[in-house]
Amino acid sequence: MNPVRLRSSLVLLLIALASTCSLSQPDDSTQKLSRDIFKQLIEINTTDSVGNVTAAAEAMAARLHAAGFPATDIQIIGPNDRKKNLVARLHGAGKKKPVLLIGHLDVVEAKRSDWTTNPFQFVEQNGYFYGRGTQDMKGADAILVTTMIRFKKEDYQPGRDIILALTADEEGGKSNGVDWLVKNHRDLVDAEFVLNPDGGGVQLENGKPVMMEMDATEKLYSDYQLKATNPGGHSSLPVLDNAIYHIADALAKLERYRFPFELNDVTRAYFAQMSKTETGQKAADMKAISSTPPDEQAIARLSDDPLDNSLMHTTCVATRLDGGHANNALPQTARANVNCRILPGHSIEETRQTLLKIVDDSKVTVSSVGSDGEVQSESSPRKSFPPPPLLPQVMNPLERVTHEMWPGMPVVPAMATGASDGVYTSPAGMPTFGISGLAIDVNDVRAHGKDERLPVKSFYDGVEFYYKFLKAVASE
C-alpha cells in the first residue's frame, strides 16, 4: 500500500461542503454479506510464517460457488499446498478483452503481544473494524468478492469477462501468486488491463475526503551492498587505508548526490493537478517544474518535501551499516546497505553503475542484493515499466463514479513510491491501475503496523464504490 498523504486547503473547503451530503451505502443484506466475508478473511491467518493462503482462497471459492459460479469458472491453483491462489471468472458478452482484478490474500506478521486486540480476530469498535489486513488488503479483497457475488446474483452480464485473482505472497515469501499465474496460467488471467485495489484510494484529512488517488505507475525497489575489505591489524598502529573510513566516505558522497530530475506522464499530471489545489510558492513551483527547461530553484525547493522529492528523482539511501570485529583491531570489513527506489524506465543494473560512479573508490565494491538476501556482483537488467497511458475506459468511469459519490473531489493520477503486484502484470503487457474506494485518513495509515483498522463507514462506501465503478468499467 502506498503511504497516503495530502495537502491542500482549498480542496478541503470544497470537500467540507461536499462531505455533508450523505453517500449512498449498500442495503442491509449487502452490508451483512460484505461484513461476513471481511470477518472470515481476517480470521484466517495468512501470514507467511504460520498462516495459510490456500485456506482463504478456498473459503472465497466456496462463497462464489454458493452464489452460482460454476466449478469450471473457479480455480484454486498454486506452486505448493499453503500458497494456492483463487482465480474466478464472470463471463461477459465478449465484446472486448477481459478486465483482471487482483488482490493479495497474505498479510504481514502481527504479534498478539504488540496489539490491543487479537490481530486475527475481527473486532468492531468505536466505528472501526480492527484486525491484521483491514487496511492491507483484506477489506478490499472482501469488497471484490462481494461485488462478484452481487453481479452473479443479479444475473448481470458485463460487456467483457471479469476475472478475479486473489493471490499469495505479495508482502513476502517465495510464492508470489501474481507472478506464478502470469508465468504458468496466462490464459486464465489474460486481460486488457488490471485493477488493483492495493493502491490508490480516497484520502481523508481529519475525516474529510480530499482526493481520489489513482496509482498509474510505481517505482522499482532495489537493495545494494557497499563493501570494503582490509587486512586489518592492531589498533595502536592505525594506517590511512581503513575499511570503515572507505565506507564512511562512500556514504558521505551518496548523501550529497541527487539523482537527475525526471517527470513522466503520470507525475506530470499529478503535479499539474496538485498545483491547482496548492497555494502560494508551492503551487508556483509545481507549475514551474513542468516548463522547458524546468526551473532548477523550484525543483530544489520541492525536493525538501520527501514525497515530492521521491516523485521527481530516483532515491538511494543508506539503511544499514556494520563493520569491524573488535574494539582494539583495525576493521577487516565494513558494509552498508543502500536502498533505492528507481524511477520507471531505469534498470537495477543502471542504478548500480551510477552508485559505482558516485562512490568512485576502487576499494569499495557495489553489489546487488536480491529479495532473498543473496549478494550478486551484477544486477538484474529489470526495469520498472514506463507508465501506461491513462486509459479512457478506466479513467472515465473512475471520474464519473467518484464525482457521483464524492461531489467535487478531484481524481489524481499518481506514482506509488512503494511497490505492488503491478510489477508482474505491467511488464506482462497488462497496464495496471491502483484503484480503491476505501477512504483512510492521512494520519491513520496502519498498514503493516499495530492495531490496523479501517473505518466502518469507509468499508461500506468502498463496497458501493467498487460495485458502481466495476459495472461502469465492464459496461463500456
Strands 220-229 vs 333-342: parallel, antiparallel or unpaired:
antiparallel
**Minimum CB separation from Zn ion for residue 136, in Å?**
4
**Minimum CB separation from Zn ion for residue 137, in Å?**
4
**Minimum CB separation from Zn ion for residue 5, in Å?**
17
Restricting to residues 106-165, which ones interact with Zn ion according to CB under 5 A?
A: 136-137
Restricting to residues 394-423, which ones interact with Zn ion according to CB under 5 A?
A: none
Closest CA to 443 of 12, 5, 2, 1: 5
**Contact flags string 65-104 toward Zn ion, x per CB under 5 A:** ----------------------------------------
The piece of 192-200, 305-313, 353-361, 454-462 that touches Zn ion (CB under 5 A) is 192-200
What nine digits make up the cell of 163? 476475472
Restricting to residues 193-222, which ones interact with Zn ion according to CB under 5 A?
A: 198
**Minimum CB separation from Zn ion for residue 104, in Å?**
6
- Compare residues 1 and 359 and give the one whose CB is closer to Zn ion: 1
- Compare residues 4 and 137 and give the one whose CB is closer to Zn ion: 137
- Compare residues 8 and 46 and give the one whose CB is closer to Zn ion: 46
**Minimum CB separation from Zn ion for residue 426, in Å?**
16
- Compare residues 170 and 278 and give the one whose CB is closer to Zn ion: 170
For residue 180, CA distances in Å to 99, 186, 222 come to: 18, 9, 21
**Minimum CB separation from Zn ion for residue 132, in Å?**
12
**Minimum CB separation from Zn ion for residue 117, in Å?**
21
- Compare residues 1 and 99 and give the one whose CB is closer to Zn ion: 1
Q: Taking each helix axis as running N to C, give the angle between helix 243-256 and helix 348-359, from 0 to 180 degrees, rounded to the nearest 10.
A: 110
Is the Cβ–Cβ distance between 421 and 167 less than 8 Å? yes
Query: Can residue 289 be called a binding residue for Zn ion (CB under 5 A)?
Result: no
Query: For the residues of 290-349, what is the DSSP string, one character each?
Result: TSSS--HHHHHHHTTSHHHHHHHS-EEEEEEEEE-S-TTEE-SEEEEEEEEEEPTT-BHH
- Give the three-state DSSP class for 467: helix
- Compare residues 216 and 338 and give the one whose CB is closer to Zn ion: 216
Helix (H), strand (E) at residue 250? helix 243-256
φ, ψ of residue 198 to 5 degrees: the values are: -75, -10
**Minimum CB separation from Zn ion for residue 68, in Å?**
29
- Compare residues 108 and 348 and give the one whose CB is closer to Zn ion: 108
For residue 43, CA distances in Å to 56, 103, 366, 459 come to: 9, 17, 44, 17
What nine digits make up the cell of 341? 527506489
Give CA–CA dist 431/459, Å, rounded: 26
How many residues line the site for Zn ion (CB under 5 A)? 4
- Compare residues 136 and 441 and give the one whose CB is closer to Zn ion: 136
Strand order in the sheet with 375-376: 315-323, 333-342, 220-229, 364-369, 375-376
Residues at the site binding Zn ion, with contacts judged by CB under 5 A:
1, 136-137, 198
